[in-house]
Structure 1
Amino acid sequence: ALDYRDWFTFTPWVVNDAAPGSRRKLSGRTGLSQGEQRVLSYLVLFAAAAAHFTSLADTAPQVPRLILLDDAFAKVDEPTHARLGRILVDLDLDFVLTSERLIGNWPDVPSLHIYECLRDPHVRGVATLHYTWNGRQRRLVSV
């Protein structure tokens, strides 16, 4: 796990597009919905991970810039899923997302490998379907 406390301190600020120039320090009393809180936590996580990997780039350029998100983007509205995916791409992060409902085929994400796991409760094991996404179209690779 990335423990940012040893190497960096930051203060997240909340800005409102409806009130340009205004900002509030993120705190327990900021008055955000649960979805907004989750989006902000993702943004802080993405920024911290990108900064960490960038700091390693000179000494370890081969290290993957990998972030793993289990049950990714839960309680975040669907249009925001694509925006968060675009931010992962913009920050040059490699990512693995797990979700029971999220496929990840967003136009702003130029390419993905997607593995869908299927389980029949009456049969032992799990079957997987492998798809690729090229920013426009999902294609079945193998069954």
Structure 2
Amino acid sequence: MQAEIAAEIQRLLQAAERQVDAINRELHKRPTSTGVRYRLLWQPLAEEEGAPVGLDVARKRLLNTSSDLWSAEDRRVVGAMLQHRISAERERADSSSGRDSGTLLDQLARALDYRHWHRFRVERWQEGHWRKLSGPASSGERALGLTVPLFAAVASFYSQGSYALAPRLMLLDEAFAGIDDTARAHCMGLIREFDLDFVITSEREWACYAELPGVAICQLQRREGIDAVFVSRWTWDGREKTSEADPDRRFAPA
């Protein structure tokens, strides 16, 4: 059973690494208008941050060597890490006096959830070096550093074979808050570069930028004391905004 668990965790870790590589390929192909590039890192936590004891050494075996080719030492290292993680979770469950212990299956799921052993970080290529996104930068650059990798992640997901013909839909709530209009326009251009379709909800964003060749807009309007919402419809063709009739109007205009 331990060998089966190790093999499954290996499969999941390697799949995650491939996904991160795919995202970074998307990012490399699409620098910002100022030439800035970003990359995504998926890093193991340190033991003092909650990672399993021995993760650093075991992770190298899991990522770099097929489980069929593991030596006795490889199996000992990986097995010790997994056993320690399971024991730690069972001790935590026992100490909680049943309040949050769950079933044995729940305990194993928590103990072996490799996602909690890692964190994501974004770095920016600047002056010939990769630097932390939290380093000196404008608020717009920081916002782009958080937004652009998300676009790349969505694009890499839809680029998988089983989704090749699917709508490349992305939903954004209060999109680009805290980003100035120039950076917003660049973000919109990147959405087009990544070949994504989008639905945005925003208090002020209409997405009318030259970087986008077409947008359908519904502006919701209401007045105090009136229990109704009016839908104002518009389209943007890359050059101008045009008012459109309501296709679902039930009553003829007065």
Aligned with 1:59: secondary structure? Answer: helix
| 209, 219, 223: which one aligns with 1:116 | 219
2:145 corresponds to which of 32, 36, 40: 40
Q: Shift of residue 32 of structure 1?
A: 3.1
Is 1:14 matched up with 2:124? yes
Higher helix share: 2
Equivalent pair of 2:133/2:142 in contact (CA under 8 Å): no
Indicate conservation of the 8 Å contact 2:211/2:238, yes or no.
Answer: yes
- Under a length normalisation based on structure 1, what TM-score does the superposition of the two structures give? 0.81
Distance 2:163 2:149 in 1: 23
Q: Aligned match of 2:154 in 8, 30, 49?
A: 49
One-letter amino acid of the structure 2 residue matched with residue 69 of structure 1: L
Residue 100 (structure 1) shift: 1.1
Deviation at 1:23, TM superposition (A): 2.9
Check the 8 A contact 2:172/2:200 in 1, yes or no.
yes
Unmatched runs of 5 consecutive residues or more in structure 2: 1-12, 21-39, 42-121, 247-254
Answer yes or no: is 1:67 the counterpart of 2:170.
yes
Q: What SS does the aligned partner of 1:49 have?
A: helix
Whichever residue aligns with residue 44 of structure 1, its letter is: P
Secondary structure of the structure 1 residue equivalent to 2:159: helix
Tell me if structure 2 keeps the 8 A contact 1:13–1:23.
no
Name the aligned partner's letter for residue 42 of structure 1.
T
1:59 CA displacement:
2.0
Aligned-residue Cα RMSD (Å) equals 2.0
Which structure has the larger Rg? 2
1:25 pairs with 107, 128, 131, which one?
Answer: 131
CA distance in 1, matches of 2:178, 2:133: 20
**How many Å apart are 1:27 and its aligned residue?**
4.7
State the 1:137 CA deviation: 1.1
- TM, length-normalised to structure 2: 0.48
**Identical positions, percent:** 27
How far the C-alpha of 1:81 sits from its partner, in A, is 0.8
Unaligned runs of 5+ in 1: none
